[in-house]
Structure 1
Amino acid sequence: MTSKRSTARPPLFTAPFSRTIACTLGVLITSVIVGAGATLYLPINEIDRIGMPAVLFPLIWLGLLFFATMTRNIRTVWLWLTGLCTLHTVLIYWHLTGA
């Protein structure tokens, strides 16, 4: 008699609830903040700073959504989303306060 080996693979993605929250709210909030903060360091004139977040938002959102859905480790996703939000929030704060 042959012995059956366990061929069960671990799931491709872990923490489906956390991944769903990261892919919906996390990516949405991050893309809004990054789109607003990116106008501070991109080489564009004053008039284009108004419309550039509207152009950048879908591109940033799509890139972050693909990253959040395709990365295996959910901690990496949350680390990147938190880091991008923090960095761009600090940039916006410095710009508004004139520091």
Structure 2
Amino acid sequence: MSEITAEQVAHLANLARIALTEEEIAHLTTELGQIMQAVEKVSEVATPDVPPTSHPIPLQNVFRADVVGADVLTAEQAVAGAPEADGSRFVVSAILGEEQ
């Protein structure tokens, strides 16, 4: 793979509409080059017999089963203490300044 150039970084910055100084372009050229080298190293060892992983150790679900309990509130009981309710729903003021 070829090295990344300052012209490529400047072109990408232009496409992303990001204004960069010459110093920032030089700095990013170096950093992106290092990132590309790291990706190349990973690509060298990522062979078809190595399965892709997202975590170094297997994960398992630690949540309990979602079952309805015996002592649960009804919708009416849940909204009984609310400052304002509309049937079985809580009424809250708009937080974004827009009416729903």
TM-score by length of 2: 0.34
Larger relative contact order (C-alpha < 8 A, sep ≥ 6)?
A: 1
Whichever structure has more helix as a proportion of its residues is: 1
Whichever of the two has the greater Rg, that structure is 2
TM-score by length of 1: 0.34
